[in-house]
Chain A
Amino acid sequence: MAQAAAIPALRTESNVNPFLPAFTLWWREVVRFYRQPARVAGVVLSPLVFWAVIGAGFGSSLQSSTTGTSNFLQYFFAGALLMIVLFTSIFTMMSVIEDRNEGFLLSVMVAPVHRSGIVLGKVLGGTTLSTIQGLLFLVFAPLIGIRLGPEQLLLVALITFLVAFALTALGFVIAWRMQSAQGFHAVINLFLIPLWMLSGALFPISGANHWLKLLMRANPLSYGMEALLQTLFPGSAPATALPLWSSIAVLSGFAAIVFVAGFIVANRRGTLPAA
C-alpha cells in the first residue's frame, strides 16, 4: 500500500486511544455548562421548585396501601427523581443538534477518533450533569422522612448514574440525525412521557391491569424505578420486584444496548452529507 513517507512524522499514535477524545468531549460539555449561568440556575433550582410545588400540593397525609411505602409522597419522591433525571438527560443531548448546526461536530467527525469515543464523551457529559441534578434532589429526602446511610447514598448514585447514562445515550441516538431542535422536541415527547408514566413512577406496577403490567415490565426504566424504591425504602418495597441487583443488571444491559445503538448511528457513513 502506498505510504506517505514525505509527510513530517505525525506524533499521533496509529490509533488514537478513544478515552482521550472521550475525556476532552466530556470536559467541554461540563465547561460549557458552567459557563452558561442560566443553565446552572436551571439545574440547581428546578428540583427545588419542583419539590416545593409537589410537596405543597400533596401534603403528607396521602396514604396508600399499594405503594408499600408509608405514604404516596414518599413513593412519589422516587418517581420525581426519575423524572428529573429523565428530562435533563435527554435534553442535554440537544447539544448534538447545536454542535452539528454550528460546525463543531464536523471538526470532531473528521478527526481520527473511534466513533465510540465521540459517543462516550458526549453521553458522559450529559450523564454527569443530570446525575448531579438528580443527586441534588436527594437533599429533600429527609424532609419526608427518608433517612439514607452512606451505603444507600452510593447505591442511589449508582442507579441514578445508570438511568442518566441510558437516557442520555437514548437522547444521543434520537438527536444524531435530527436537523432541528423542534423535531427533537416532538420525538422526545412521544417517547418520554409514556416512558416515565409506565415506569412505576406515577403508580406502582402491582396496581396496574394485565396489559399495562406487561408494558411496564417491558419498560427498562421500571427497573430503575424498582431499584430506587428498594434502595430508598428497604424492607417495604413492592412485593413483585426483582432483587435489587437484578434490576441494576437489567438497567446496565439497557444502558449498554442504547450506547451501542449510539455508536452504530454515529459510525454510519453514507453518500449523503454527514452533517
Chain B
Amino acid sequence: MSGRGSAAIRLENLSHSYGKRTALKNVSFEIAEGEIFALLGPNGSGKTTLFRILSTLMLPGGGRALISGFDAANQPAQVRRRIGVVFQARSVDIKLTAVENLWHQGHLYGLRGRELKARVRLMLERVGLADRAQDRVETLSGGMQRRVELAKGLIHRPAVLLLDEPTTGLDPGARRDLWQYLHELRTQEGVSIIVTTHLMEEAERCDRLAILNLGEVVALGTPAELCSQIGGDVLMLGTTDASNLAQAIQQEFRIATSVLDGKVRLERKDGHKFVTQVMEAFPGRIDSISVSKPNLEDVFIARTGHRLWTEPEQMEND
C-alpha cells in the first residue's frame, strides 16, 4: 500500500548463489519512496547481483524483492512498468539519433504518437541535449551518450530508477551534472533512485546507503550516521615497521589499532590532541601522520577490515 510505511523497494531475506559461490546472503532492507539510495561495495560484493534481481533480469535464489509492492520474481510485468533502468553497459543504439533512440524506447513502453513526441522533446531538454537531438549517438561524447541513456531510462516516467555504476567513464564535470540531475529528479518528481557504486564519494551524495561486502549488508544508514559510528577522528601513522608500532600503541594507550597499506590506523576522539601524545611516546618511529574526519571508506574498513577495492571491473559471476 502507498501511504505510511510504503517502500519503493523492500528486500526480504534475499539470497543468491552462482553454483557454489554465494553472491547474496539473506539481504533484507527497505528503500523509501523518493529516496536516493546507494548500494556501495567492491566488485564481487553482490551489488550487481542485486541489481539484476531488481531489474527482473534474473530470478533470486531465495527470498523476495518487492518493488512498489510487486514481486520482481513473480510479477515482472508490473515491476517492469514501474522501473527505469540505466545499465553500466551502453544500451543506446549508436547508429540511431538521440531522438530515434528515445522514440524507440517509448514504443517499448506503449507510448506513441504526439504524446511520445512531446515526452522525447522534454526529456532531451531536461538532459541538455535538445540541440543534439538529431545527431547520431555515435557522434556524441561519452558524457552525452550517458545522458541519452538516462533520458532513455526515464522516458516512461518510472517510479523507481535503477542505475548501475552510472558515472563510469565520466569526467568530474559530467559526474557532477549527473548527480545534480538525480537530485532534481527526486525533488521535483519524487522518483526513488537506487545507485550501485564502488565510489564512496558517490555514496556520500545519497540520502542513505547500504554497504555490501561478500553478499552481506555490513552497514545501513545515512552517510552521517554511519560516519558518526566511528569513534572520533581517523589517524594514519606512516612508519617503517607498522605491525610493531601498532602493537606498541595498543599497549601504551589501550586502543584498537590496525595495519592498513603499511600504515598504522586508529580511531580516536580529538585526534589532533592525540598526535602530540603519540609523537612523544614513540620519538623517531613515526614518519608521517594524518588526521581526518571519518568517511564512508573508514566505515567500510571498520566493518570489514580491508579497503574498498577499486580494481578494474570484473564480471561477478566469473
Contact = CB atoms under 8 A, between A and B. Distances in A.
Which 4 A-B pairs have CB atoms at the shortest separation, nearest pair first? Answer: A2-B69, A103-B89, A4-B68, A24-B107
Given A103-B89, A271-B16, 4 more contacts: A11-B157, A31-B95, A103-B88, A106-B91
Nearest to A22: B107
B104 A28 contact: yes
Contacts of B77: 15, 112
Given A17-B110, A24-B108, A113-B108, A6 B6 contact: yes
A273 to B, nearest CB: 6
A28 B93 contact: yes
Contact of B57 (A11, A112, A274): A274
Contacts of A110: 55-57, 80, 83, 85
Contacts of A107: 85, 87, 91, 105, 152-153
A58 B111 CA distance: 55
A104 B92 CA distance: 6
A194 to B, nearest CB: 35
Contacts of A1: 69-70
A4 B108 contact: no
Given A3-B1, A7-B82, A107-B91, A275 B110 contact: no
Most chain A beta-carbon neighbours within 10 Å: one of B3, B110, B190: B110
B58 A12 contact: no
Contacts of A31: 95-96, 100
A45 interface: no
Most chain B beta-carbon neighbours within 10 Å: one of A3, A7, A28, A273: A7
Contacts of B16: 271
A15 B81 CA distance: 9
A273 B57 contact: yes
Q: Please report whether the interface of chain A is mostly helix, strand, loop or mixed according to DSSP.
A: loop
Contacts of B157: 8, 10-11
A140 interface: no
Contacts of B181: none
Q: Please report whether the interface of chain B is mostly helix, strand, loop or mixed according to DSSP.
A: loop
Interface in A258-275: 269-275
A32 B92 CA distance: 13
Contacts of A20: 107, 110, 112
B90 interface: yes
A106 B6 CA distance: 29
Contacts of B78: 112
A177 B95 CA distance: 24
A36 interface: yes
Interface in B99-126: 100, 103-105, 107-112, 115
A41 interface: no
A256 interface: no
A274 B110 contact: no
B59 interface: yes
Most chain B beta-carbon neighbours within 10 Å: one of A11, A32, A36: A11
Interface residues of B, number: 56
Interface of B: 1-3, 6, 16, 18, 33, 52, 55-61, 66, 68-70, 76-78, 80-83, 85, 87-93, 95-96, 100, 103-105, 107-112, 115, 136, 152-153, 156-157, 159, 189-190, 317
Nearest to A13: B110
A262 B132 CA distance: 37
A109 interface: yes
Interface string A160-187: 0000000000000000000000000000
B59 A269 contact: yes
Given A35-B95, A107-B87, A273 B156 contact: no
Nearest to B55: A110
Nearest to A269: B59
B87 A106 contact: yes
A36 B95 contact: yes
B60 to A, nearest CB: 7
A10 B317 CA distance: 35
A111 interface: yes
A108 interface: yes
A32 B93 contact: yes
Contact of A7 (B80, B92, B107, B159): B159
A200 interface: no
A3 B2 contact: yes
Interface in A218-275: 269-275
A102 interface: yes
Contacts of B70: 1-2, 4
Contact of A32 (B95, B103, B109, B156): B95
A16 interface: yes
Interface in A44-90: none
